[in-house]
Amino acid sequence: MIQLDEFVDGVSIHLGNAGTSSVPRIAIVFAARQVVKQFCDESLSYIVNAFDPTDDKNTERQPTSTSIYMSRLEQQCRLSLPRNTHIIKVWQLSDCACQPDDELDVIYDFPNVVNLYRKDAESSNLIVSLSITQHALECPDYIFHQYYDGILSGIIAYLQAMPNREWAMPNFAENHQYKFMQAIALARRAVDKGFKKRQAPTSIPANFG
């Protein structure tokens, strides 16, 4: 995870050249949190794989930035999520099997519990999309590095649109907001394409509704 502070320099360069006062760090971090959360919520691109280390299939696997531990008790799976994150969508319960949305959309509980719809459901390889909470001070590594420019534009637009602030420039916010929304659309297409590429012939396509 990358500290939200990493966006401070980029914001300062863009807004500092417009004759405005320096934007306080606390305002930049607050804006970054809102923008990163919106990006995660709408793009669904903060995806992690959860596995049970006690399962024979997973005895040699180790957690990474995109894979985490999970424990299962009967029909309940509890995921060891990164700090200040929560589940927003369950994509897959086992390898190469995306389930129908009407079954998956209601089986997770905030922040980290997946309730399986039957006791014999296979859960060796859960795939979920996460988002950050309002307490987060970090951005997922992949999203930071892959979509930095788009998120930076979103932060700048958020700050420019703030009312009654010395750095506010609402007339300039629209262009940055457009770039941010383009980044979200690009990330959503990448997620959709990725699931279509991986799914088995008999599976149900993942879609965004």
As a whole number, mean pLDDT of residues 122-133 equals: 83
Query: How far is the first Cα of the chain from the last one, in angstroms, to the nearest whole number?
Result: 29
Between 166 and 129, the more confident residue is 129
As a whole number of angstroms, the distance between CA 67 and CA 80 comes to 10
As a whole number, mean pLDDT of residues 129-144 equals: 94
HEC string of 53-118 equals CCCHHHCCCCCCCCEEEEEEECCEEEECCCCCEEEEEEEEEECCEECCHHHHCCCEECCCEEECCC
Q: For the whole model, what pTM was predicted?
A: 0.80
* Share of the chain residues as helix, strand and coil, in percent rounded to the nearest 5: 40, 20, 35
CA max distance for the chain: 63
Q: Say what the pLDDT of residue 140 is.
A: 92
As a whole number of angstroms, the distance between CA 126 and CA 50 comes to 5
As a whole number of angstroms, the distance between CA 188 and CA 209 comes to 12
User: How distant, in Å, are the alpha carbons of 94, 97, 162, 166, 199 from that of 104?
Assistant: 13, 12, 37, 46, 16
Give residue 147's pLDDT band: very low, low, confident or very high (50, 70, 90). very high
As a whole number, mean pLDDT of residues 102-113 equals: 65
Q: Say what the pLDDT of residue 23 is.
A: 86
Residue in the structure block whose two tokens are 């990493």: 6
